[in-house]
Structure formats: C-alpha cells, structure tokens
Amino acid sequence: MKFDPRTIEHLGIQMYSTLPPVIAELVSNSYDAEAEEVTIHLFDEKEKEIIVEDNGHGMSFSEINDKFLLIGRNRRETESSQKSENNKRYVIGKNRK
C-alpha cells in the first residue's frame, strides 16, 4: 500500500461522520462505473449490515493497487480524462477525488 503525501488533507476528519454521505459516495461510485442499476440492501438484525450492489464495470487487480489502495490519490490531478471507462458518462466522483 502506498500513501500520497497529502493523505491527511484528502481524508478530512468530517468526511464520513454519518451514514448518508457514505451511501451517497457508494452510489456515486456505481454511477462512475457506468452502472445501469444500483441496489441498496439494509439489514437491521443482530448485526447491522448495508450491501450496495451494482452492475457497473469492476476494477482490475492493478487498478485496485494503483488507484484504490493509494490513499490520498487525487484522480483529477493524475488523469486527463474526466469520462468513465467506456466514455459513456462524465465521472462525478462525489468527493471530487
């Protein structure tokens, strides 16, 4: 795992202090992955659980390592295209990262 020098700046202490922004970020990620359908399952049993499923394109092993696991990475500074993988949509990136 690698860390960008501006990790603390990107991780802002208030970023996910409540549940709605977390769910909004996951739905935003689904949109960016060109999902046509997003399903949110909420379970309120012994152990509370939220499952977000979509039919968007996934991430390859190298994408996970190079993009997702690089904490503090700002894709707007490293990628020239603001379009989704198949150029169908403009990537919105809920938290602009």
Q: What are phi and psi of 23, to 5 degrees?
A: -65, -40
Q: Scanning the structure block, which residue is given the tokens 């968007």?
A: 56
- Domain boundaries in the chain? 2-78
| 83 vs 44, residue with greater confidence | 44
pLDDT band at 46 (very low <50, low <70, confident <90, very high): confident
Q: What is the pTM of this model?
A: 0.60
| Average of per-residue pLDDT across 63-86 | 66
pLDDT over 90 at 40, yes or no:
yes
Q: Residue 82 and residue 4: Cα distance in Å, rounded?
A: 21
Can you give the pLDDT at residue 32? Answer: 84
Maximum Cα–Cα distance for the chain, whole Å?
Answer: 46
